[in-house]
Structure 1
Amino acid sequence: MHALYNLAAWMAQPLLRRKLAARARAEPLYGQWVAERFGRAYAAPAVSREDERPLWIHAVSLGETRAAAILAQALRARRPGLRLLLTHGTATGRAEGAKLLQAGDAQAWQPWDTPAAVARFLAHFRPRAGVLMETEIWPNLIAQSAAQGVPLALANARLSEKSLRAARRAAWLMRPAYARLAAAWAQTDADAARLRQMGAPVAGVFGNLKFDARPDPALLALGQRWREQARQAGRAIVMLASSRDGEEAALLWCIRQARASDAAGLADIQWLIVPRHPQRFDEVAQLAQSHGLSVSRRSAWPQSANGSAHESANAAPPAADLWLGDSLGEMPAYYAAARVALLGASFAPLGGQNLIEAAACACPVVMGPHTFNFAQAAESAQAAGAALRAPDMPAALAAALTLARDEAAHERAAQAALALIAAHRGAAGRTADAVLTLMDEGQRQTPP
């Protein structure tokens, strides 16, 4: 059966190349260093000396890379000069990961999960140990690492009920992969229990790394300026955050219906939509305009003299019904600006986006019914009063408008969000200590 998996992965390589070429038309980074996906022609030089062998962290996309940044900071604080190898699967992940690189570090695409590509990857970089972020289970990657004496751990590990059911259906492939991990450090007790059901060697429940994130103060200040500028115009900002396909249409339909029934009823609201995926920015702008809304895109707002995103305090966003957050790396600014955020990916059965980032910026959240990817965080936020849950978009919008307009209720929710973050910090230190122990033990066990 494993041979069939290998055959399928090998046969899928031309399809992967075509998919990358298609994605590169909207996101050019997908078209760069494509050979790395197959274990060839790496941009980073091969590792030859023993003292150059890196600690490898695999963070597939943007959310995992942001968690990896928190871990990397804790690792470097404990061991200055530690060399890191970062791998990614998406363009947004690689772009975000590039910000973490220091002298001696390297970055590459994740090798496609064929025996040959993984073998070439391991031979080129010779990592001392590896950390897979959150959910990244690749059978050949794990099997070959174990065979070559490279211990791999699953950090910030989560496994939803939905994912557990899928893993069980392919237990012949997934159970050996989980069992070959050197360790799994779970976010919650529930995640740990599900991971153990798949045979993972759970070595601790450390919490969620994302609670240790500290938003960039400059971005918070930027968002607060946007909020004040909207307030001076008599408006409160309501945001749809990290939205996915179909969610923007649902919100825009609700806005259109409300405006049709009462033209002045939403005059005090400044709408803000921040799509999850950059390739959808143009699509969402056109969709909003088709619903009769004027749109102002973040990318067209005034910039500072040096061209950075942090414009001067006097530069106000242009007036429009809807602001479109078509920039990367500015989510803290968007959350700081918003009075309340509707949580993307929770109004479709996609599992929800990370609401911890919103809480760290003191932004209350209204969630839809689907938050299985962040179940514990969602439950904790709701219990603390930092988040509300609604069955659908119309109900969520009604709750968001009430919260945005009620100063006392908003302040209670904002303070609850900050208290929630403070109460759950500490995962970064615990995980960093475990990673360094794993790396040192692996080094002692590696034959000279």
Structure 2
Amino acid sequence: MLRAIYRALWWIVAPLAVIRLFVRSRRERGYREHIVERFGRAPGRSPDDLAPLVWVHAVSVGETRAAEPLIEALMRARPDARILLTHMTPSGRATGEQLFGDRLARCYLPYDMPHAVRRFLHAWRPALGVVMETEVWPTLLDECRQADVPLVLANARMSARSYRRAARFGTATREVFGGFTRVLAQSPADAERLTALGARQVTVLGNLKFDMTAPPELAARGRAWRAAIGSRPVWVAASTREGEEALVLDAFSAQATKGALLILVPRHPQRFDEVAALVVRRGLSVERRSVWGGEPLAAAAAAQVAQAPLSADVAVLLGDSMGELGAYYAASDVAFIGGSLLPLGGQNLIEACAVGVPVLIGPHVFNFAQATADAVAAGAALQVSDPAHLARELNGLFADRARRVAMGAAASAFAARHRGTTERSVEVLMALLENGNAVDG
């Protein structure tokens, strides 16, 4: 009964979803592009293309970046295979284009309606589907099962809060999660919750985000920026969300470290202008990365080309660019990870740890609870309760260089110690691709 109601509701929701795309396109134009793909009307591939196709779904930017090492490893393991990368957001699609160019196919995942999903599967004929992290669509699972397409939930996580919500639907939830051929969980806690929700063949393989490595040119770019900034203390607030920038600026104003520079990097590009205006209203001088830096430095010349000096009067550098988070980390002494001062679940702190930067993160980290707890236990990160606490910890770290260096070293070691999930995941996926059924984990 719940499944019938769910499918019927999509006939009501779909027109509203299209209207919402056009509303959102006022701030991010990409939402009005490729709309037909959201109803399964992608070009697909030619009937005479018989190569196996591995389809990877990464909903937005974070999932796409997490999928990068996995996709690269799949390409190396099966150079004869095709790769299809699907998304739900324009920013995720733009990230996929930036990372992979024309080395793979891409389109939007269709809405979870039977006819749309069937058209999608018929057009692409995947031999294997890989869904990243938390994307669970009941109709998609049903149609993949009927089309005999093995579907894997990779880098899977399930917070305690999400578990409680899903568990309310009882048998219906167990039927949905039972539709995955394999589930590759990030942690034992994730595996336990997913199993309780009905998932079968659940294996703990770790977090793919530990295998993300910033390209060397980003580190060189960050060092060039740092040279242009000078000896000022620098901290970055990365992947901040709506309502959170005001709290970060509160912490910046409360901070006692003289001459400090804040690099403020909103998570969503459509908010760059809004955040710049907020900084100005606070009476702070702001420089935009796009204005200060112009075009990104070429990889080969990043370390040699001199960056224009940043004025000492600038209090905030707005990170209004895509794909340069690793450079912002490399230019900073301390990193604060956004999405965590408000109850939004937090963002990925692993990339900052891998660069060797001490990490601060707020109290709301339910989407990254295990990684945060492990980083804190390793001495790589500190958790703060509010903007005032954030300001105090920043002051303490800027005043104690030895402590800052020790935290940075602990962060690098923490990131290195947990690598290897990609290799383990590829072993499972290659077995499914070759055998067409589950393998023991």
TM-score range, shorter chain: over 0.9
Where does 1:139-154 land on structure 2 (aligned, <5 Å)? 139-154=138-153
Equivalent in the alignment of 1:239? 236
- Of residues 408, 413, 417, the one that matches 1:419 is 413
> Is 1:314 the counterpart of 2:306 in the alignment?
yes
With over 3 angstroms needed to count, the CA separation of the structure-2 counterparts of 1:53 and 1:104, relative to structure 1, is farther
Equivalent in the alignment of 1:338? 332
2: CA distance between counterparts of 1:312 and 1:297?
Answer: 22
**How far has the Cα of 1:254 moved from its partner?**
3.5
With over 3 angstroms needed to count, the CA separation of the structure-2 counterparts of 1:102 and 1:223, relative to structure 1, is closer
| Deviation digits for residues 214-272 of structure 1 (CA, Å, limit 9, x no counterpart) | 11111111112222333x3x4111111100112111122333455xxxxxx44330111
With over 3 angstroms needed to count, the CA separation of the structure-2 counterparts of 1:279 and 1:305, relative to structure 1, is closer
Equivalent in the alignment of 1:19? 20
Equivalent in the alignment of 1:136? 135
Q: Which amino acid aligns with 1:33?
A: H
CA contact (8 A) 2:181 2:201 kept: no
| Deviation digits for residues 173-214 of structure 1 (CA, Å, limit 9, x no counterpart) | 432110011000101011000000001013311100111111
Equivalent in the alignment of 1:283? 274
| Deviation digits for residues 89-111 of structure 1 (CA, Å, limit 9, x no counterpart) | 01111111123547673211011
> Is 1:6 the counterpart of 2:3 in the alignment?
no
Where does 1:110-121 land on structure 2 (aligned, <5 Å)? 110-121=109-120
2: CA distance between counterparts of 1:398 and 1:440?
Answer: 55
Where does 1:70-219 land on structure 2 (aligned, <5 Å)? 70-101=69-100, 105-219=104-218
With over 3 angstroms needed to count, the CA separation of the structure-2 counterparts of 1:102 and 1:95, relative to structure 1, is closer
**How far has the Cα of 1:82 moved from its partner?**
2.2
Q: Give the 3-state SS of the residue equivalent to 2:263 in structure 1.
A: strand
**How far has the Cα of 1:373 moved from its partner?**
0.8
Q: Which amino acid aligns with 1:387?
A: A
Percent identity between the aligned chains? 44
Residue ranges of structure 1 left out of the alignment (5+ in a row): 259-264
CA contact (8 A) 1:293 1:322 kept: yes
1: CA distance between counterparts of 2:61 and 2:205?
Answer: 21
Equivalent in the alignment of 2:398? 404
CA contact (8 A) 2:264 2:316 kept: yes
Q: Give the 3-state SS of the residue equivalent to 2:238 in structure 1.
A: strand
Where does 1:217-366 land on structure 2 (aligned, <5 Å)? 217-230=216-229, 232=230, 234-257=231-254, 265-303=256-294, 313-316=305-308, 318-319=310-311, 320-366=314-360
Equivalent in the alignment of 1:261? none
CA contact (8 A) 1:192 1:202 kept: no
CA contact (8 A) 1:53 1:125 kept: no
1: CA distance between counterparts of 2:153 and 2:328?
Answer: 31
Residue ranges of structure 2 left out of the alignment (5+ in a row): none
Q: Give the 3-state SS of the residue equivalent to 1:12 in structure 2.
A: helix
Q: Which amino acid aligns with 2:65?
A: R
Q: Give the 3-state SS of the residue equivalent to 1:345 in structure 2.
A: coil
| Deviation digits for residues 114-137 of structure 1 (CA, Å, limit 9, x no counterpart) | 111111111111100100000010
Q: Which amino acid aligns with 1:288?
A: V
Equivalent in the alignment of 1:262? none
Normalising by structure 2, report the TM-score: 0.94
Q: Give the 3-state SS of the residue equivalent to 1:99 in structure 2.
A: helix
Deviates most, 353-362 or 77-86: 77-86
Consecutive aligned runs of 4 or more in structure 1 exceeding 6 Å deviation: 305-309
Q: Which amino acid aligns with 2:66?
A: A
Normalising by structure 1, report the TM-score: 0.92
With over 3 angstroms needed to count, the CA separation of the structure-2 counterparts of 1:439 and 1:366, relative to structure 1, is same
Where does 1:13-52 land on structure 2 (aligned, <5 Å)? 13-40=14-41, 42=42, 44-49=43-48, 51-52=50-51
1: CA distance between counterparts of 2:102 and 2:282?
Answer: 49
| Deviation digits for residues 298-341 of structure 1 (CA, Å, limit 9, x no counterpart) | 11123369889959632235321100001000000011111111
**How far has the Cα of 1:401 moved from its partner?**
2.5
**How far has the Cα of 1:404 moved from its partner?**
2.7
CA contact (8 A) 1:159 1:194 kept: yes
**Aligned-residue RMSD, C-alpha:** 2.0
CA contact (8 A) 1:304 1:311 kept: no
2: CA distance between counterparts of 1:443 and 1:153?
Answer: 11
1: CA distance between counterparts of 2:309 and 2:160?
Answer: 43
